[in-house]
Amino acid sequence: MKYKYYIVDVFSSTPFGGNQLAVLPEAQGISPQGMQKIAREFNFAETTFVLPPKSRKHTRRVRIFTPRAEVPFAGHPTVGTACALAMRGHCGAGDKWSFTLEEDVGPVAVEVKFRNGIWSAMLTLTGEVERPNDAPRNQEVAAVLSLPSGDIIETFFAGVGLPFCFAHLANREAVDRAAIDKPAWTKFLSQAWSPHVFFFAGELKSGAELYARMCAPAFGIEEDPATGSACAALVGAMMSRPGITGETADLSVIQGVAMGRRSEIKAIARKFEGKVTSVSVGGATTYVANGEIEVGSEWLST
């Protein structure tokens, strides 16, 4: 059976930048095993499969697969899927759309806009940021990144739907120089609260621009050009700190530069009565291609 797919570049306003995403807009009938096979075939960081919603209040159900596993939530697949559906007329004509996408993490609100020839979207998650009591050790994360301990300012865990190990590095040069040491990763992070490491440079304050990279060996992702879920967790963790005042805080994150896939991500956190109540992450999405993929009967649901 043939299934339509779209390819979009997320967190980039021009083709061949940002994070690649394959979207199957009408994926009914494909088994979970088939979805995993297709995601491995595309071999992008993620592939999404769009299904009818379980609730009439919601727009679509979306399942997200890396080449190795299904994930409950991810930023660039959510932003990119919403944009792809709007771009290709799956949700009516216009220049502004409001989606509620059902993901395993729960309903995710997404606002899509088309302005001055550029498609963009912003997702919002409600609820508190996950922060475990323990934290990774600086020297262990330094070993994972093949860096001297002096390049590490701090490390911490945080997540919103997907957990991350964050490493704040001294400068951009250290971010570019970092390389995953697989034995050290296996020893120190593979069984940790999060095995996915997001490392960045820049001042961690509202309005700042950060320079970042992300590696997720557990998902078969050597390096990710753009990681919206990590940016959402990072701005939420920052906003949770006692020294951050005000009701909102925002970060701009530049990622994927060394890979030749520059990505620009905007992340916002909101606080009420001292607690983070929601985080948003978004950016531009560019349409690249479409086609059909043949799915054999062995990969269809019975």
Q: Over the stretch 122-149, which tens digit does the pLDDT of each residue have?
A: 999 998 899 998 889 999 999 999 999 9
Q: Is residue 53 part of a domain?
A: yes
Q: Is residue 132 part of a domain?
A: no
- Across 150-191, the runs of DSSP E, i.e. the strands, are 152-159, 163-169
**Same-domain pairing of 147 and 244:** yes
**Same-domain pairing of 143 and 269:** yes
Q: Is the pTM of this model over 0.85?
A: yes
Which of 255, 166, 142, 245 is CA-nearest to residue 209?
255
**Same-domain pairing of 22 and 111:** yes
**Same-domain pairing of 79 and 107:** yes
**Same-domain pairing of 43 and 85:** yes
Rounded Cα distance, 24 and 246, in Å:
41
* Residue 55 · residue 301 · CB < 8 Å: no
pLDDT for the residue 128: 84
Rounded Cα distance, 23 and 251, in Å:
27
Q: Residue 13 is part of a domain; what is its CATH number?
A: 3.10.310.10
Q: Is residue 92 part of a domain?
A: yes
Q: Which amino acid would we find at residue 43?
A: N
Q: Is residue 89 part of a domain?
A: yes
**Same-domain pairing of 192 and 212:** yes
Q: pLDDT digit string (tens) for 180-204? A: 999 999 999 999 999 999 999 999 9
- 3-class SS of residue 103: strand
Which of 258, 216, 263 is CA-nearest to residue 21?
263
Domain span at residue 262 reads: 138-284
**Same-domain pairing of 232 and 109:** no
Q: Which amino acid would we find at residue 36?
A: Q
**Same-domain pairing of 291 and 240:** no
Q: Is residue 32 part of a domain?
A: yes
Q: pLDDT digit string (tens) for 40-95? A: 999 999 999 999 999 999 999 999 999 999 999 999 999 999 999 999 999 888 89
Residue 15 phi, psi (nearest 5): -65, 155
**Same-domain pairing of 280 and 144:** yes
Q: Extract the tokens encoding 101.
A: 């996408």
Q: Is residue 76 part of a domain?
A: yes
Burial 153-175 (b: 16+ CB within 10 A, else e): eebbbbbbbbbbbbbbbeebebb
For residue 26, the 8-state DSSP code is -
247 has catalytic annotation: no
Rounded Cα distance, 275 and 194, in Å:
23
* Residue 255 · residue 213 · CB < 8 Å: yes
Rounded Cα distance, 288 and 249, in Å:
33
* Residue 55 · residue 65 · CB < 8 Å: no
- 3-class SS of residue 125: strand
3-state DSSP helix/strand/coil % of the chain, to nearest 5: 20, 45, 35
**Neighbour count for residue 222 (Cβ, 10 Å):** 11
* CA dihedral over 102, 104, 109, 113, signed as positive or negative: negative
**Same-domain pairing of 115 and 143:** no
- Length of the chain as a residue count: 302
The active-site residue out of 26, 41, 46, 140 is 46
- 3-class SS of residue 205: coil
Q: Is residue 227 part of a domain?
A: yes
pLDDT for the residue 202: 98
The tally of domains found in the chain comes to: 2
Q: Is residue 155 part of a domain?
A: yes
**Same-domain pairing of 56 and 115:** yes
302 pLDDT more than 80: no
**Same-domain pairing of 262 and 185:** yes
